[in-house]
Structure 1
């Protein structure tokens, strides 16, 4: 049971990392080139070097940190009952 749980944890971690990396690259390219940013609210930008640098060094790290924290909390809440059942045995 413990090996299965560790395997699932690794798969979920890799999936989250891949999704975050793809999102970051997509958002940074759009910030420099212009277009619709991949955020939950509609945000169109003309792009440019200034906005690209702002996004690259300030906005993307802040949004990414918040999103990763939120996902880890959600996954922890989902996993908590399973961990409790596994520890009961």
Structure 2
């Protein structure tokens, strides 16, 4: 337990920040799931539209360092490759 006023404040701030980061991570996961559902449906144009929106979410969250920038890039690359494979 925090014994000083400063430590109590930092504990409050850390808890608030953790909740905010969890919310952003949830937003990220939801965006990725939407793209995967569009790919499963087989509609390439819909998947591309959803993908463009999710790329913005991925980049925004990677800029805030909620996830590593390389993880965001890897995820975008894999989703893009799956969308391109729909035409084949």
**TM class by smaller structure:** 0.3 to 0.5
TM-score, reference length from structure 2: 0.46
More strand by share: 1
TM-score, reference length from structure 1: 0.45
